[in-house]
Amino acid sequence: MPALSIVMPFHNVRPYLTRALESIRMQRHTDFEAVLVDDGSTDGSSTIAAGFADRDPRFHVVRQENTGPGPARNRGIAEARGTYLAFADGDDEVPPEAYASMIRSLENTGSDIACGRVLRFVGEEPPFLSELHEEIGRTAADRTHITRYPALVANRTMWNQMYRKAFWDAHRFGFDAVLYEDIAVSAEAHSRASSVDVLADIVYRWRMRTAQETTSITGAFGHPDNVLALMNAVARTNAVLLELAAAAKSTHDKLMIKYDFEAVLVALPQAGPETRKMILSRVEECIATFPADIADDLPAEQQDRYVQIRALLADA
């Protein structure tokens, strides 16, 4: 059996898929299988994936009707045979040392999860640190936990992390057929882990698509349906942290004010009455668990955002 299983769901990412798969093929750690889940692609992505599988036995393709990234990941996990489990998306790239670094860390410490830093990139322009993940890996730490390293609440993505497969299976983690399916899963995994290794290494390159390129989930910022899905995911995450990792919750509250409430304020003027009501309901559900002084030490812009959100709730 391979040491590592890499699950990559993909759907209509033909312009990017070759580079994504090349970045997997060129990993310094060579003992892996790449489970490529073709989630009903119609743009030629299937042919690219099949070509890699034909040339390299470490790659194999699983095909299914389009069901979304969550069920596609679940399908890939069901096929995975490795000791360790990692994820990648078909429009991103993995630096050559990433998997070797995370496996080495997990073997040295016995932790359940290893994670690292993330770069964002646009085409051939110079990459830059992901703002969402900027505190993760600023200080490296072995055998830590989300309650002692609360910046890990920003690990809302699966692909800058590696999991011990036995840990994943023991807790029966899985993804729902919704947008932002990974946010609550990542929070629960970090909360239930015996320990986590945080690396200072760059372990993932996250593509930022331009306005001219095909719209991605994260690219549809402020669309009411997307924001409702986001707030559903954030509310589930809030509940997970309340139950399992309360010491990290205030950091997550501030993350909501910084990122999620900005999206809410963009979405509400465009939303129909029912969608608006549901978004505000999720926001209210989360705010009800915030400490009274949550915004006191935030930058002025974020304090103003929080005031606007509370005013909208008062008027609803």
Q: Rounded to whole angstroms, how far apart are CA atoms 155 and 138?
A: 13
Q: Which of 171, 170, 167, 146 is nearest to 156 (CA)?
A: 146
Question: Vertex 131, ends 294 and 148: CA angle to 5°?
Answer: 55
Same structural domain, 182 and 244: no
DSSP assignment of 24-79 equals HHT-S---EEEEEEEES--SSHHHHHHHHHHH-TTEEEEEE----HHHHHHHHHHH
Same structural domain, 162 and 198: yes
Same structural domain, 162 and 251: no
| pLDDT, tens digit, 9 for 90 and up, residues 139-171 | 999 999 999 999 999 999 999 999 999 999 999
Same structural domain, 31 and 77: yes
The residue-averaged pLDDT of 98-102 equals 98
The residue-averaged pLDDT of 85-105 equals 98
pLDDT of residue 215: 52
| pLDDT, tens digit, 9 for 90 and up, residues 231-254 | 999 999 999 999 999 999 999 999
| Overall domain count for the chain | 2
Single-letter amino acid, residue 149: Y
Single out the residue in 207, 232, 263 at which a domain terminates. 207
DSSP conformational letter for 286: H
Is the predicted pLDDT of residue 56 greater than 70, yes or no? yes
* Tokens 């331009």, located at residue: 210
| pLDDT, tens digit, 9 for 90 and up, residues 261-291 | 999 999 999 999 999 999 999 999 999 999 9
Same structural domain, 49 and 123: yes
Same structural domain, 140 and 33: yes
Query: Within a domain: residue 213?
Result: no
Query: Within a domain: residue 139?
Result: yes
Same structural domain, 137 and 181: yes
Query: Within a domain: residue 216?
Result: no
Single out the residue in 207, 232, 252 at which a domain terminates. 207
Q: Rounded to whole angstroms, how far apart are CA atoms 256 and 246?
A: 15
Question: What percentage of the chain reaches a pLDDT higher than 70?
Answer: 97
CATH number of the domain where residue 167 is located:
3.90.550.10
Same structural domain, 78 and 170: yes
Q: State which residues form the domain around 258.
A: 224-315
Same structural domain, 52 and 182: yes
Beta-carbon neighbour count of residue 286 at 10 Å?
21
pLDDT of residue 184: 97
Is the predicted pLDDT of residue 4 greater than 90, yes or no? yes
pLDDT of residue 123: 87
Single out the residue in 173, 207, 241 at which a domain terminates. 207
Same structural domain, 198 and 248: no
